[in-house]
Every structure is written in C-alpha cells, then in structure tokens.
Structure 1
Amino acid sequence: MAKRDYYEVLGASRGASAEELKKAYRQKAKELHPDRNADNPQAEAQFKEVNEAYDVLKDPEKKAAYDRYGHAAFEGGMGGGGGQRGGFSGNGDFASAFSDVFEDLFGDFMGGGRGAGARSRAQRGSDLRYNLRVTLEEAFKGVQKTINVPASVACDGCHGTGAEGGAEPVTCPTCSGMGKVRAQQGFFTVERTCPTCNGTGQMVKNPCKICGGAGRVEKDRALSVNIPAGVETGTRIRLAGEGEAGLRGGPTGDLYIFIEVRDHPIFQRDGLHLFFRVPVPMTTAAMGGEVEVPTIDGGRSRVKVPPGSQTGKQMRLRGKGMPALRGGGVGDLLIELVVETPVNLTARQKELLREFEKLSEENNPEANSFFSKVKSFWDGMKN
C-alpha cells in the first residue's frame, strides 16, 4: 500500500511554517492518541503515521529532501519512511514515539524535555513578602526605614555550592545529569524524577557541614528601605535580589514590601486628598470669623468662616493634600464645618438665649420652610 503524503497526514499545506506544522502535529497526535481511541483499532497505526510524518517534516534537511523527492528520498532506511530509524515496526518503536510526543506535548508545561535536568541544577530562591506600616506623616514626606528580614542567604562555608570547601558538584551517575530516568512499561516509556539526585542532575560528594549541602543558611538581615513620598496602603516596593538565596548557587529571589498607612487621629485620606471635620462655635458660624486648622506638613492655616455657615459646609485648601507617588501633582485639604451647640449653660446664658430666640424668628429660613411644609401636610391630611 502506497504511503500517504506526509502533509496530508498532518492536515497541513506544503507551504506551512515550522510552527504551523508543529501545531497541526499536536492536534493530530491528541486526536489519534490510542488512549483516547480504545474503540478504534486503526488509531495506533494512524498515530504512528502522524509521528512518522512529523519526524521528517520537523527536520529542515529531511523536509527539504522530502519536498524535492517525496518518499523516495528515504528509501533504504535513511529517514522516516522504511528503515528502523524512522518506521514503527515494533512495540519498542511505538513506545519511543509515544515518549517523544508526550515530551513534545507536555514538556513545556511540566518543566520537562531534554536538558531539563541541567536547568534544575541551580534553583532560584523564593521571593519574600514584608508588610511595613508607616504613619501618614511618613507617607507624606517619604522616609528611610531599616527592617530586619529573616531569610536564607548563601552559605559562607561553601560559597553556595553545597559542597565542602566550595567544591563543584559532580554529574549524577544514575541519570547522567538529565535529572530524570526512563522505564519501559509495555507500550509506554515512563519518565520519573531521578531518585539519586532528586532531579537536580548533580550530586555533592562531600556535603558542607554548615548548610548540610543546601548551599544556604537561615539568617536575619538588616535592610535599609527608601519609602517614597505619596505611598498609600497597598503600594508595593520591589527590591531585586533581596529575597532568599538560590539552591546550589542559583539566583536570589526578590523582596516585595507591601505598605500599610496607619489611620491618623485628625486627617482622613482619599487618594491625594485629605479631609477632616472642624467644630466651630455657634456664634462664629452665625456671625462669621476665622478658625485655625492644622496641615499635614505640620503647619497652620487660618480659614475664614462665612456668616450663616451651617454644619456640613466644606472649604478647600488647594495643594495642602498628599503628593502623588513619584511626582505628578499634590492633592487638596478639605475642611468640613460642624456647628457646635453650647452645653452646660448658666442661668445668664439661658436668659440671653431666650431673648435672642424672640428676636430671631425671621433668622431661620430653613426651619421656617420645613415647618411650613409640615403644616401643609397636616392640613392636607385633615381634608
């Protein structure tokens, strides 16, 4: 029976790129995998055919020969057509093909693939998180803080290699440095992490007595951190290379500092703006006057209270709020008046207020308007 065209087998055009061929191969391999087609006796043969086609077309030299001469380019066992190298004449060949497709399909996701052991010899250190609380005044000005971070650091005894005296690790004899071993189980080749080196691909003959071969030890470090002006709760600061040391000389992780700004007894914050409520005497609210208010920079400002001010009236001091992080403007300070009613009145004060009440019947427009509406409501209910 004549062999089918390899491009037809993969469902790809002759002008397909390497990436398009790989995509077509993956789709066909998943579709025809024997494990997914237990009720299809032809699935295994079709699966082999797909692997044979891709084995040729993924290789630039084989692909060029096939594009020019077709299947005749591999007659005599030179490639993927009829010889032991490219064909699938027995269970061993099928198992090898399955191992290759499994590696191609899932190696990128599982961290596998050829050479994975070499990549895992030195492992990057973990990133660390540190929660730092600052005052609102510190967030306004910016501040330099010294923090103590418990973390793993490179072992001084072995300089991070894990071996006594700083000697270099040796290649694992079990996996030959790959970090993985393969075992044949019927049709399948099962790949497992090497039990001797635990996937690192290397071994330490004489482990360092200080770190036990890990290449790092636990130690507290004092770090100086610059907190820029304008930070707010949730701001994240990254210190590259200040995390945990890597295993066996691997790169160091990063330290992430998360800022929390404490509540302030006077000011409330809303983004760049600050807000607080200031009580004013009833007389000041009625006749007008001035109140002295604080600002976040430690200064003082005098604010004019217009005559007839009511509770809830807001005034704005521009540019007296919080600075934007890394520049970009400054917010405002919003002041809300709270008209305060006097308490614990003396007899004389009560007498004066009663006299004032008789003289101020026309000085309460909001109250007059409200009670006029109430009277109309009651009259309407009677009718």
Structure 2
Amino acid sequence: MADPYQALGVAKGASEKEIKSAYRKLAKELHPDRNKDNPKATERFSDVTKAYDLLLDKDKRAQFDRGEIDADGNPAGFGFAGGQGGAYSRGAGGQQFDFGNSGTDFGDIFEGLFGGGGRSSNPFGSRQRSAPPPKGANVSYRLKVEFIAAATLEKQRITLEDGKTIDLSLPKGVEEGTQMRLGGKGRQGPGGNGDAIVTIHINSHPFYERDGDNVTLELPISLKEAVEGAKIKVPTVDGPVMLSIPAGSDSGKTLRLKNKGFHKKTSGRGDQLVTLMITLPKDNEKLSEFVKDWDNDDNPRADMGV
C-alpha cells in the first residue's frame, strides 16, 4: 500500500469522522463477502482496512506524517517480514489480512454494514456467523372463558391449529384481553416453531359483574327479610354461602363477602359486593291494606330537598 490517505480517498488533514465515513463506504463496496469472484476487490479491501487502521491510530498517523514509518506501519527504509505476534485471517481468494496488534475496534464500523444480516467475528469474513434461520409464524387464538371460570382460574382446554388440545392454567389477574404466549406451539419453520398467542375473552354473566378484582351482585330480598332481618343463601363464584341480612335494611345497602372475587395479580382475591334490592310481591291484598291505613310522616326524599 503506497499511501493510506490515497487508499481511503481522503485529504491529509481529514478528521476521524471523515476517515470513518470514507472507510464505511469503501468497506461496504469491497467487502470479500460481496466480491467472492473478484480478487482485486479483496486486495483493495485489505489496503483500505490497513489504511483505516493506521490513520485511526493517532500515534501511528503522526509517525507516518513525519516519515518515520511507511504505509504498512514498518520503520521507514526497512523491509518487513511480518509475524510479530499478530493474528491473521484469510479472506476470499486466499488473501491474507493482518488485524492482530493494532487495537482498533471494528465493531462500530461493521455493525449494520450489510443491512443487519450476519455479522463476522472479525471484519474480513473469517468465522462469519450468518443470521439464524427464521422461526415459523405465530398463530393467534381467541379463547372465550366463562365469567365464573375466569374468577376461579378454572383450567381451559384449547384446540390448536394442528388438532392437538392443551389445558391452559389461567394467570392470576386475568382480564378481558389478557394474552398468553405458548412457546413453540405455532407453525413450523427452519429455525423452529413459532408461538401460539392466546387472547382471553371473558363472557358476561346473567347476574354477576366485575369491578376491578371485585365481583358485584344485586341481590333481591323480600320486604319481610328487609324489615325483620334474615339469614339467606347467596350465590358466589365459589358456590352458595349464608349471608346475614341486618334488620331494617334498605334497598341499596351493600354487604361484603371477603375473598369471593377475582384472583389478584400479586396475591389474594377481591371481594363479592352484595347490594340488597327489596322486591315487593305483586297483587298482595294484605300488603295493600297495610300501607293504606299506615300513617307515616317520614319523607325518604328529605335529603334531596324535595
């Protein structure tokens, strides 16, 4: 190599940024992986790499500019037999490259140089690692889960594209739109199977509703139960339980059943909130007669200003 500045096509006073830019452009054009049938390009690639190595080393560049070393980094006026502990690699066409003792880091130059494809363990194509073969496509599934099953984390069976079935354990904190990834249950590919992506849809319930981790329920009670109080059976997502209705309960009063809601993401469960709703019997003559003669001055709407 005669002159490193000429090899890279830069001026003698070029900045480090200009040197890197020139080398990146030439390296992309001349890299052996792109010129396997062009030994001249490979030879020139070796020259521009050596030039880049020298000019990016401030001490060597200063020595070259003062005439103390030649373009190969050897003392001016002396031959060089090679082999001072450097590492060598052979590129396309058998061309030998020396990249051993320079200390230059080529990572910033060759990263992404060829569009993010396979990256060499050194910049000359030796021991190059190609990109791994792609995995197969992911497959999306939509799984409908009953409200109670979601609250109690009941296992769900799903049939995959290949006809196989899997029993899924629902995650704590499951909610509408929760996604579960089943590794390796997608379509086949040269690099292995893709994944199955399962999106959870929770069906509505005839009388339960969800409020965060809690389950809400409007519970019908009779007038007698509201006035006198009672112990009644109440449905929950875990099965019926007994609930004490305090005497004199109004419609809208809410009672709490602890740990009868959805499983939380961390630990524990939400509660079931039971709202009492007094229902009156239809066409009950005794009730009609009772209220007809009942003189009650209380105004239940007084707090509303009417």
> Structure 2 length normalisation: TM-score?
0.61
Q: 2:242 aligns with which of 295, 301, 308?
A: 301
The number of residue pairs the alignment matches comes to 238
Name the one with the larger helix percent.
Answer: 1
Partners of 2:196 and 2:147 in 1: CA distance: 23
Per-residue deviation, 1:266: 2.2
Partners of 2:67 and 2:261 in 1: CA distance: 78
Corresponding residue number in structure 1 for 2:253: 313
Corresponding residue number in structure 1 for 2:103: none
Residue 328 (str. 1) matches residue 267 (str. 2): yes
**Kept in 2: contact 1:282–1:341 (CA 8 A):** yes
Corresponding residue number in structure 2 for 1:354: 292
Partners of 2:238 and 2:67 in 1: CA distance: 83
Partners of 1:75 and 1:265 in 2: CA distance: 89
Q: Give the % identical residues.
A: 24
**Kept in 1: contact 2:55–2:61 (CA 8 A):** no
Q: Structure 1 pair 140/368, CA: closer, same or farther in 2 (3 Å)? A: closer
Q: Which runs of 5+ in 1 are unaligned?
A: 12-20, 31-53, 80-102, 151-218, 375-383
1:1-383 equivalences under 5 Å are: 3-6=11-14, 8=15, 10=17, 25=21, 59=53, 63=57, 66-67=60-61, 69-71=63-65, 78=72, 107=113, 110-112=115-117, 119=130, 122-150=133-161, 219-228=162-171, 230-247=173-190, 250-307=191-248, 309-325=249-265, 328-346=267-285, 348-356=286-294, 358=295, 361-362=296-297, 364-367=298-301, 373-374=305-306
Q: Structure 1 pair 367/221, CA: closer, same or farther in 2 (3 Å)? A: closer
> Structure 1 length normalisation: TM-score?
0.51
Per-residue deviation, 1:62: 6.7
Partners of 2:177 and 2:276 in 1: CA distance: 31
Corresponding residue number in structure 1 for 2:104: none
Per-residue deviation, 1:64: 6.8
Q: Deviations over 1:95-127 (max 9, x none)?
A: xxxxxxxx968646x444667997357322122
Partners of 1:342 and 1:127 in 2: CA distance: 57
Q: Structure 1 pair 220/264, CA: closer, same or farther in 2 (3 Å)? A: same
Q: Structure 1 pair 332/305, CA: closer, same or farther in 2 (3 Å)? A: same
Partners of 1:342 and 1:305 in 2: CA distance: 21
Partners of 1:140 and 1:330 in 2: CA distance: 9
Kindly provide the amino acid, as one letter, of the partner of residue 148 in structure 2. Answer: E
Partners of 1:60 and 1:127 in 2: CA distance: 49
**Kept in 1: contact 2:119–2:130 (CA 8 A):** no
Partners of 1:58 and 1:240 in 2: CA distance: 46
Partners of 1:230 and 1:113 in 2: CA distance: 41
Q: Secondary structure at the match of 2:237?
A: coil
Q: Structure 1 pair 259/105, CA: closer, same or farther in 2 (3 Å)? A: same
Q: Structure 1 pair 329/349, CA: closer, same or farther in 2 (3 Å)? A: closer
Partners of 1:147 and 1:229 in 2: CA distance: 18
Partners of 1:222 and 1:369 in 2: CA distance: 60
Corresponding residue number in structure 1 for 2:79: none
Partners of 1:122 and 1:369 in 2: CA distance: 73
Q: CA RMSD in A?
A: 4.2
Per-residue deviation, 1:68: 5.3
Per-residue deviation, 1:332: 0.9
Higher relative CO (Cα under 8 Å, sequence separation at least 6) belongs to 1
Q: Structure 1 pair 315/224, CA: closer, same or farther in 2 (3 Å)? A: closer
Per-residue deviation, 1:366: 2.5
Q: Structure 1 pair 321/74, CA: closer, same or farther in 2 (3 Å)? A: farther
